[in-house]
């Protein structure tokens, strides 16, 4: 916070900069766009994984405990334990012109849809987002599964006796019982989305153009490359405030009785 | 409603913390300027006889075997000196060098990726006294221009010397000899227009005319070359690189260069997925025959010679008009002496040795993949006949004599490359910005970087 009012390179003397560093956040189009991009990533990091995670967890609950359900858990959870840097490189290969994604498209005759995903102005950000879905899905599923395990089985029985099908059972019993887990999931994934750095740095470096630039990469560059510690601090504080503003209502929701 | 009061408390605490931070802000972070930039004691060209361990910090990769070999040669000459080579990858070194040099465990010689604020913060010693003592000022001076820094600690190309390199990277255009023959190229193109005709012929023959890495900045090279070719002079670009006050890149030549590059992209002379090709994939594709031309640097030459000996040639980017001056981007693999190094004299002796000793210069080419500079009467290292390396070394010797060496626009400021040149060139190639807007935007980003 203190640094954000100075022009400082991290080593030498600092000169007061007043509010210039803060003004820049709202006047430089690239900085603002990176914040917008981070919110687009929230869709991929939070909305999709939590939604899909709910579906996956419900299905796995229905499965008989056995080899298949264990395999499903492991496959979903693997991205959590892989280093993101390695994952980023692997996805970069898969997305390249001759990569796996395009090979699959060609194999099923969708040649007109093949493209260099991470080099495409329209699809680069969603492509990065899909990496986020892949990373976060396992985390959400495992957490929600644990939550489902804690729900009193008597509730499910009561629902069945009342003639509820699997879908209405899900809405009447599973969803309300998972409130706390959902809060933890959304909180964790939103922070990950807004503070995303490693996947973008490895996969696209913010390109093509400024399509996938995010505040995390900006802060890193300002600090280490440009040595504008003041400007970086301002953006970091701003990002922290944005995260808090987004997280706070969710936390409130979770506490309501 | 416990939760609400609870939050009010939190908010109040946050408010107090913010107020405290504002109060704290009254005392500024950071050090203060002292420590003169000149070596504090008189310099000496002697090594002495005390055992000395000279610590080098270089970048990972080719640098390590190269400087290790130089260290062995140096020890053979001065038996009391042990050279210890440590390394960090380029990106890490770029981000940590200032902290390393300001810290307590300081190397005696450090590979300087970018001077940045290193001179302003007095982290490197001024090499002028050593240049005087060793007679470096009698050598071709264009090799030292990029590491001279003016008294404002910012403008380069003038003032005192802060680093010197054993060898230089330089850029040009590689070509696949077999494919070039197929499109009827008998000699390197004499003008940009002639080069463009060759690209059209390659396209018509069903070949990929140019292979280039647009993802991480390869396409910035031809752009800069085009700017200099159209301007017929490199002075404007050089002033801009060295952040001379009032320098601008927002010129007619830049707009014209952007127009040409955009046209090449639209005509299919560049790969369709140019913005997705990085610096490891581009040479691999080129070796496979995917691309008649590959604009890149001499650091690629040893690799090309290893996989396809004699198959690849190299020429300097053609001028705008026939017989016009040729310009090439070069950057020295610079070494600087940290201000806190206790062995500055020995470090300077090592620097001089790397530039003048015949065996060391040979290693610069063979192991370093760089063109050696140094005195103009130094013997040229031997290179295999017809190899890409031979072509790059002889091109460099010519340029050294004609003063055709220009710095990279990418090095003008620490972040101009990643924050401006790369994304803007990508937008240009994708047709999402105009050449005029491109030139104006790069200039405004540059001025913002410099705080002007």
Q: What is the pLDDT of residues A138-160, one digit of tens each?
A: 889 989 988 988 888 888 888 88
pLDDT given for residue B29 in this prediction:
56
Which residues in chain A are closer than 8 Å to B415, comparing Cβ atoms? 221-222, 225-226
pLDDT given for residue B145 in this prediction:
87
The span from the CA of A78 to the CA of B306, in Å, is: 39
Q: Do B415 and A221 touch (CB under 8 A)?
A: yes
**Residue A16 touches chain B, beta carbons under 8 Å:** yes
Nearest CA in chain A to B32: A13
Confidence class for position A133, pLDDT limits 50, 70, 90: very high
Confidence class for position B86, pLDDT limits 50, 70, 90: very high
pLDDT given for residue B255 in this prediction:
97
Nearest CA in chain B to A97: B273
Token representation of residue B58: 């270089």
B27 has pLDDT over 70: no
Confidence class for position B272, pLDDT limits 50, 70, 90: very high
Q: Do A252 and B281 touch (CB under 8 A)?
A: no
Confidence class for position A252, pLDDT limits 50, 70, 90: confident
pLDDT given for residue B30 in this prediction:
52
Nearest CA in chain B to A221: B415
Instruction: Tell me the pTM.
Output: 0.84
pLDDT given for residue B37 in this prediction:
52
Confidence class for position B129, pLDDT limits 50, 70, 90: very high
A98 has pLDDT over 60: yes
Nearest CA in chain B to A255: B3
pLDDT given for residue B5 in this prediction:
41
pLDDT given for residue A82 in this prediction:
85
pLDDT given for residue B40 in this prediction:
58
Specify which residues B330 forms β-bridges with: B170
**Residue A122 touches chain B, beta carbons under 8 Å:** no
B444 has pLDDT over 90: yes
Q: What percent of chain B has pLDDT over 70?
A: 91
CB contacts under 8 A, A 167-206 vs B, are 205-206
Mean pLDDT of A70-93: 86
- Strands B405-406 and B328-336 turn out to be parallel
The span from the first CA to the last CA of chain B, in angstroms, equals: 53
Mean pLDDT of B144-151: 89
Q: Phi, psi at residue B262, to the nearest 5°?
A: -65, -40
Q: Do B273 and A115 touch (CB under 8 A)?
A: yes
A58 has pLDDT over 70: yes
pLDDT given for residue A256 in this prediction:
67
Which residues in chain B are closer than 8 Å to A206, comparing Cβ atoms? 418, 423
Confidence class for position A164, pLDDT limits 50, 70, 90: confident
Mean pLDDT of B429-435: 95
Do the Cβ atoms of B421 and B442 come closer than 8 Å? yes
Do the Cβ atoms of B370 and B181 come closer than 8 Å? no
pLDDT given for residue B142 in this prediction:
81
B14 has pLDDT over 80: no
Nearest CA in chain A to B273: A116
Handedness of CA B5, B6, B9, B15 (dihedral sign): negative
CB contacts under 8 A, A 208-237 vs B, are 208-210, 213, 221-222, 224-227, 229
CB contacts under 8 A, B 237-276 vs A, are 272-276
Mean pLDDT of chain B: 87
Confidence class for position B4, pLDDT limits 50, 70, 90: very low
Identify the residue among B422, B423, B445, B451 best suited for mutation to test binding to A, counting A beta carbons within 10 A and taking the highest.
B423
Q: Do A96 and B281 touch (CB under 8 A)?
A: yes
Which residues in chain A are closer than 8 Å to B214, comparing Cβ atoms? 119
CB nearest to B30's CB, from A14, A210, A224: A14
How crowded is residue B324: how many other Cβ atoms within 10 Å of its Cβ?
Answer: 16
Helix (H, G, I), strand (E, B) or coil at A60: helix
Element (H, E) at B167: strand B164-176
Identify the residue among B13, B30, B219, B444 best suited for mutation to test binding to A, counting A beta carbons within 10 A and taking the highest.
B30
**Cα radius of gyration (chain A):** 22
B192 has pLDDT over 70: yes
């Amino acid at each position: 916070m203190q640094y954000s009012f100075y022009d400082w390179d991290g080593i030498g003397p600092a000169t007061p900069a007043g509010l210039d560093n803060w003004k820049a956040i709202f006047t430089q189009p690239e900085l603002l766009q990176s914040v917008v991009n981070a919110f687009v990533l929230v869709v991929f990091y939070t909305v999709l994984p939590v939604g899909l995670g709910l579906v996956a967890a419900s299905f796995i609950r229905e499965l008989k405990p056995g080899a298949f359900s264990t395999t499903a858990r492991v496959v979903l959870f693997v991205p959590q334990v892989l280093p993101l840097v390695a994952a980023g490189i692997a996805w970069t290969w898969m997305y390249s012109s001759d990569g796996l994604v395009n090979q699959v498209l060609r194999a099923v005759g969708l040649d007109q849809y093949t493209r260099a995903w991470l080099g495409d102005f329209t699809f680069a950000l969603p492509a990065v987002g899909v990496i986020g879905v892949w990373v976060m899905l396992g985390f959400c599923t495992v957490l929600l599964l644990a939550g489902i395990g804690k729900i009193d089985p008597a509730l499910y029985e009561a629902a069945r006796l009342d003639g509820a099908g699997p879908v209405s059972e899900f809405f009447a019993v599973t969803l309300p019982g998972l409130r706390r887990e959902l809060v933890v999931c959304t909180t964790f994934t939103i922070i990950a989305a807004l503070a995303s750095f490693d996947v973008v740095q490895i996969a696209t470096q913010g390109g093509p153009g400024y399509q996938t630039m995010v505040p995390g990469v900006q802060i890193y560059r300002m600090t280490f490359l440009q040595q504008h510690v003041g400007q970086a601090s301002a953006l970091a504080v701003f990002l922290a405030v944005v995260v808090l503003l987004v997280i706070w209502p969710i936390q409130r929701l979770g506490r309501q009785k | 409603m416990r939760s609400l009061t609870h939050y009010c408390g939190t908010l109040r605490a946050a408010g107090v913390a913010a107020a405290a931070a504002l109060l704290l802000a009254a005392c500024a972070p950071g050090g203060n300027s002292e420590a003169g930039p000149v070596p504090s004691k008189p310099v000496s060209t002697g090594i002495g006889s005390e055992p000395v361990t000279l610590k080098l910090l270089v970048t990972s990769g080719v640098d390590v075997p190269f400087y290790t070999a130089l260290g062995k040669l140096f020890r053979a000459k001065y038996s009391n000196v042990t050279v210890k080579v440590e390394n960090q990858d380029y990106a890490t070194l770029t981000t940590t060098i200032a902290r390393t040099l300001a810290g307590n465990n300081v190397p005696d010689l450090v590979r300087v990726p970018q001077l940045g604020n290193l001179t302003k913060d007095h982290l490197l010693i001024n090499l002028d006294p050593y240049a005087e003592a060793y007679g470096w000022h009698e050598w071709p001076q264009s090799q030292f221009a990029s590491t001279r820094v003016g008294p404002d600690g910012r403008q380069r190309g003038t003032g005192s010397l802060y680093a010197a390199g054993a060898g230089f990277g330089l850029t040009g255009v590689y070509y696949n000899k077999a494919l070039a023959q197929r499109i009827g190229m008998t000699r390197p193109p004499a003008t940009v227009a002639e080069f463009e005709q060759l690209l059209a012929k390659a396209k018509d023959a069903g070949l990929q005319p140019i292979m280039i890495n647009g993802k991480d900045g390869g396409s910035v090279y031809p752009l800069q070359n085009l700017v200099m070719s159209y301007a017929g002079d490199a002075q404007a670009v050089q002033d801009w690189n060295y952040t001379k006050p009032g320098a601008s890149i927002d010129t007619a030549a830049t707009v014209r260069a952007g127009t040409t590059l955009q046209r090449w992209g639209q005509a299919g002379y560049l790969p369709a997925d140019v913005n997705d090709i990085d610096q490891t994939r581009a040479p691999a594709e080129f070796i496979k025959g995917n691309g008649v031309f590959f604009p890149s640097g001499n650091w690629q030459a040893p690799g090309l010679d290893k996989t396809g000996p004699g198959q690849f040639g190299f020429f300097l980017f053609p001028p705008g008009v026939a017989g016009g001056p040729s310009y090439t981007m070069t950057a020295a693999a610079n070494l600087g002496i940290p201000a806190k190094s206790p062995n500055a004299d020995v470090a300077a002796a090592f620097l001089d040795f790397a530039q003048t000793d015949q065996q060391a210069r040979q290693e610069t080419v063979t192991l370093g993949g760089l063109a050696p500079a140094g005195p103009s009467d130094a013997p040229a290292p031997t290179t295999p006949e017809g190899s890409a390396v031979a072509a790059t070394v002889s091109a460099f010797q010519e340029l050294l004599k004609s003063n055709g060496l220009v710095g990279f626009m990418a090095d003008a400021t620490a972040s101009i490359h990643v924050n401006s040149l790369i994304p803007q060139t990508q937008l240009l190639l994708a047709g999402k910005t105009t050449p005029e807007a491109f030139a104006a935007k790069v200039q405004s980003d540059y001025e913002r970087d410099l705080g002007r």
